[in-house]
Amino acid sequence: MTVRANGAAADAKERILTVALDLFGERGVAATSLREVARVAGVTPGLVVHHFGGKEGLHGRVDDHVVALFSQALDSVPLSGSTVQVATARDDAITQMFEANPEAIDYLRRVVVTPDPGDVGLARKLIEETVTRTRTLREHGIARSRTPVEEQAVTVLVEQLGHRLLQPTLSRLWTIAGADSSVPTVRVTLQDRRD
């Protein structure tokens, strides 16, 4: 294969991934066929199977892509400074990532909030990634807590994603209700029921 052919294959693979992310976020994974992904991407269904092994492989690769977006955003933040400085910089990096990739939040909303039955792949990958990163923050003295690391990681993830996942719903309900004032901003906080 020539360099040009390699580039074309990479472009096609990236196009398929981008289209799948959009369609899966819009309609859900179960409601989106490989043929539809191929048609919108401008490739044959066989090429989708060639690159991803089928719908399950494509779904897994889209999940990996979204986790990689998180990882890249968080990797851009140095682990130095106060806890507040690092937390603020991490939140800002996630915000910038979503502004640059709005289709990722649509996909998260669809796959995490209203998943197809049995679909825990992305949620599990995000939790595993967040647990690993929370451990790293603890090792650097940034995320001190007596809370089990898994609980702290889920709390961080829900606080980072909660308002982004719920704000469109609030906006829609606000409009349906015909409220005159501007739509309030969703803020998510978690309260420990053990207290």
Can you read off the two tokens belonging to residue 187? 């803020």
Q: What is the 3-state secondary structure (H, E, C) of 35-60?
A: HHHHHHHCCCHHHHHHHHCCHHHHHH
Confidence at residue 69, expressed as pLDDT on a 0 to 100 scale:
97
Would you identify the CATH topology of the domain 3-177?
Tetracycline Repressor; domain 2 (1.10.357)
For residue 2, pLDDT beyond 70: no
pTM of the shown model: 0.86
Q: Please name the amino acid found at residue 146.
A: R
Closest by alpha carbon to 152, among 124, 190, 98?
A: 190
Distance CA 145, CA 139 (A): 11
Q: Tell me the average pLDDT across 140-147.
A: 87
Distance CA 74, CA 6 (A): 30
> Can you give the residue ranges of every domain in the chain?
3-177
